[in-house]
Structure 1
Amino acid sequence: MTTVAVVPGDGVGPEVIDQALRVLDSLGLGLSFDVLDQINAERFRRTGVAMSHEEMVRISSARRVLLGAIGDPRVQQTGYARNVLLRLRFELDLYVNHRPAVLLDDRLSPLRDPARRSIDCVVVRENTEGAYIGSGGVLRSGTPQEIAIDNDISTRHGVSRVLGYAFSVARRSVCMVDKSNAVPFGGGLWQQCWADARSAHPGLASSHLYVDAAAMKLIQDPTAFDVIVTNNSYGDILSDVTSQLAGGLGTAASANLNPEQGVGLFEPVHGSAPDIAGQGIANPVGAVLSAALMLDHLGRGAEGDALRGAVRKAVSARRCTPDLGGQLGTEDAGAAIAAEVQ
């Protein structure tokens, strides 16, 4: 039996994860869920423990993690989120952040031109390097001469392997995005690795854009893209753009992967949304589609496609939450997806 570690987390996380588990159960796959609902901000506020060694061992043993959301406005210390999310990413070496964006229904696109609405692309974001790793510091703190430094780290090993992954999942083309005209050192390394990757994959179309031009092109015609690969911070921004073009952040799914080790963490992109937590109105689609990515990772692609098809049918019939044009709450929206699966 395949065991999946489940971390519901904070805010709307437990609400949407409940629906993802409900939909997974409707497939009858016999998955076993190891639920670690004690990993949350409430415990951290009481004890200062974000995630214990024993909990990390349980998650590592399962090798697949379904996560709801981490974050609580009552916890101001960045150490809580870093000691859960970033610890998982770094200790499991989840160097790929895979964020697909597929338009679920034509009415959800913000674009006027119908010919350009059908976005169907993937943002592949390098996940363990870049500006988010916490390298830097502050000098002369609290003085008028205070200096804050955040280092943006790129390594040949890290860049090369994420570019290789991007080519491995491409259907038509890969676009590498950087800002090497203004950020010459890290950008120069990305350019060198990009030239090597293109040479190793001559059968696929490839292109390069600076990040500002890529953002404009996405708004102009998102159908031009298949796979976009970029660094941690640019990928964070561009994947939010693609999710909005596909129907909104509530529909966005992600997979944090180490393809060689067969390890993955799957989570909706929307975060903990504390302003609507506990109201029963959170959109479960991002969590369900993250579960579908997990099924793909488990070699259950047909079942993953079944979940995606069920989501499309439910959304097209407006059996969904208000942000997608329906009138259902979280539980009823999850039930509607499960009914389409059955």
Structure 2
Amino acid sequence: MQMLLLLPGDGIGPEVCAEVRRVAAALTPDIVIDEAIYGGASFDAHGTPLTDDVLARALSSTAVLLGAVGGPQWANAPRALRPEAGLLKLRKEMQVFANLRPALCFDALADASSLKREVVAGLDIMIVRELTGGVYFGEPRGIETLADGQQRGFDTQVYTTGEIERVARVAFELARGRSNRVTSAEKSNVMESGVLWKQVVTALHARDYTDVQLDHMLADNAAMQIVRAPTQFDVLLTDNLFGDILSDAAAQATGSLGMLPSAALGEAGKPGLYEPIHGSAPDIAGKGVANPLAAILSFEMALRWSFGRADTADRLFAAVTRALDGGALTRDIGGTHSTTAMGDAVIAALG
């Protein structure tokens, strides 16, 4: 039995996940859908953003799909109990170390980008972000009071050879099924972890992937290149922090954060974690105007990477394309469709 665990979370999460449930019911009625509270909603109900029960259900599922997490009402909660801490714990416990973030510009949305059409037309980047290491998880970290009364905040950027090599291998393997090019982004000019990153990626390439073109680029230059000439990239490999930043920059080039899904993968046979990369958007929560396509396309990625249903994933992707080409656009991409109306358009386009 294949099972999808939906964790709608906070803000617009429940609204976009409701459309995933409707699309899944129409497309894959044999997939069992479970649902649980998570994030700020779980903190309010249980005092923790991720209960042991929900974590156990996640680990026993085929795939987990998140809606969104967080909001201003939890800003003063202890850091270890904030909604975002639940997300980090979920990633860590599921051991999903490779975050796949496609930045694809649908032709119907080329004019919705903040960049010129001729710059973004044909854009198709796969960003591979290391997800369970780096500065978000490194120790020591904290805020301390110095002898003179000032405070100092510190976080530690840490990577091991094994952590770098396993995510780099994912990037090289993906490139072989695309345009066979990997760009590895780091800050080896000023960071020791960046030096190690570059060394490990270079060594792995020389040992196992000489058929793939490998380029190295400093992360700040990569940010500039994403807004200057984004179509130069095929697979963009980077660490946790830079991947977080660069994927959001690439997202805006596509027209809207509301369009972009993501997949987080671990070892073969383990459940994957899927989520739209937009936030909880509390300013529009409950208004029925959120774009559900990033969540729906996250389900498309789950079909492809966790459920082993590439043909079904292709069918869903084609339906999204047809819906957009037919003028189904939510407010963030220049239209007037509601969240539910966009879900209706995708379901109708399934044929």
| TM-score, scaled relative to structure 1 | 0.95
Structure-1 separation of matches of 2:323 and 2:145: 56
The one of 274, 284, 294 equivalent to 2:282 is: 274
**What one-letter code is carried by the residue in structure 2 that aligns with 1:147?**
R
Q: 1:145 to 1:40 in 2, by over 3 A?
A: closer
**What one-letter code is carried by the residue in structure 1 that aligns with 2:268?**
E
Q: Give the equivalent residue in structure 2 for 1:149.
A: 154
The one of 324, 336, 341 equivalent to 1:327 is: 336
Q: How does 1:98-177 map to 2 (within 5 A)?
A: 98-104=100-106, 105=108, 106-112=110-116, 114=118, 116-133=120-137, 135=139, 136-140=141-145, 144-170=149-175, 171-172=178-179, 173-177=181-185
Structure-1 separation of matches of 2:98 and 2:243: 11
**What one-letter code is carried by the residue in structure 2 that aligns with 1:300?**
R
Of the structure 1 ranges 191-200 and 123-132, higher mean CA displacement relative to structure 2 is found in 191-200
Identity %: 36
Of the structure 1 ranges 21-30 and 193-202, higher mean CA displacement relative to structure 2 is found in 21-30
Q: 1:246 to 1:144 in 2, by over 3 A?
A: same
C-alpha displacement at 1:40, in angstroms? 4.1
C-alpha displacement at 1:110, in angstroms? 2.8
Structure-2 separation of matches of 1:241 and 1:82: 21
**What one-letter code is carried by the residue in structure 2 that aligns with 1:109?**
S
Structure-1 separation of matches of 2:273 and 2:338: 26
**What one-letter code is carried by the residue in structure 1 that aligns with 2:346?**
I
Number of residues paired by the alignment?
A: 340
Structure-1 separation of matches of 2:227 and 2:216: 17
Q: Give the equivalent residue in structure 1 for 2:248.
A: 240
Structure-1 separation of matches of 2:35 and 2:332: 29
Q: Give the equivalent residue in structure 2 for 1:81.
A: 83
Structure-2 separation of matches of 1:294 and 1:127: 17
Q: Which string of whole-angstrom CA distances, capped at 9 and with x for unpartnered residues, describes residues 84-122 of structure 1?
A: 211111111110111001111232333325265321011
Question: Is the Cα contact below 8 Å between 2:187 and 2:219 reproduced in 1?
Answer: yes
Matched, 1:186 2:193: yes
Question: Is the Cα contact below 8 Å between 1:267 and 1:287 reproduced in 2?
Answer: yes
**What one-letter code is carried by the residue in structure 1 that aligns with 2:16?**
V
C-alpha displacement at 1:317, in angstroms? 2.0
C-alpha displacement at 1:134, in angstroms? 5.6
Structure-1 separation of matches of 2:288 and 2:126: 30
Question: Is the Cα contact below 8 Å between 1:124 and 1:235 reproduced in 2?
Answer: yes
Q: Which string of whole-angstrom CA distances, capped at 9 and with x for unpartnered residues, describes residues 20-50 of structure 1?
A: 11112221341100111x3242341354132
**What one-letter code is carried by the residue in structure 2 that aligns with 1:95?**
F
Of the structure 1 ranges 113-122 and 206-215, higher mean CA displacement relative to structure 2 is found in 113-122
Where does structure 1 differ by over 4 angstroms across 4 or more consecutive aligned residues? none
Q: Which string of whole-angstrom CA distances, capped at 9 and with x for unpartnered residues, describes residues 273-292 of structure 1?
A: 11100000000010011000
**What one-letter code is carried by the residue in structure 1 that aligns with 2:313?**
G
The one of 195, 203, 213 equivalent to 2:202 is: 195
Q: 1:10 to 1:116 in 2, by over 3 A?
A: closer
**What one-letter code is carried by the residue in structure 1 that aligns with 2:342?**
A
Where does the alignment leave 5 or more consecutive residues of structure 1 unmatched?
none
Question: Is the Cα contact below 8 Å between 2:119 and 2:230 reproduced in 1?
Answer: no
**What one-letter code is carried by the residue in structure 2 that aligns with 1:72?**
G
Question: Is the Cα contact below 8 Å between 1:96 and 1:162 reproduced in 2?
Answer: yes
**What one-letter code is carried by the residue in structure 1 that aligns with 2:82?**
Y
Question: Is the Cα contact below 8 Å between 1:109 and 1:117 reproduced in 2?
Answer: no
Q: Give the equivalent residue in structure 1 for 2:212.
A: 204
Structure-2 separation of matches of 1:43 and 1:174: 39
Structure-2 separation of matches of 1:115 and 1:270: 23
Question: Is the Cα contact below 8 Å between 2:69 and 2:84 reproduced in 1?
Answer: no
Structure-2 separation of matches of 1:75 and 1:61: 29
C-alpha displacement at 1:19, in angstroms? 0.5
Q: Give the equivalent residue in structure 2 for 1:35.
A: 35
Of the structure 1 ranges 132-141 and 24-33, higher mean CA displacement relative to structure 2 is found in 132-141
Question: Is the Cα contact below 8 Å between 1:163 and 1:229 reproduced in 2?
Answer: yes
C-alpha displacement at 1:138, in angstroms? 2.1
Structure-2 separation of matches of 1:116 and 1:45: 42
Q: Give the equivalent residue in structure 1 for 2:326.
A: 317
C-alpha displacement at 1:7, in angstroms? 0.6
Q: Give the equivalent residue in structure 2 for 1:230.
A: 238
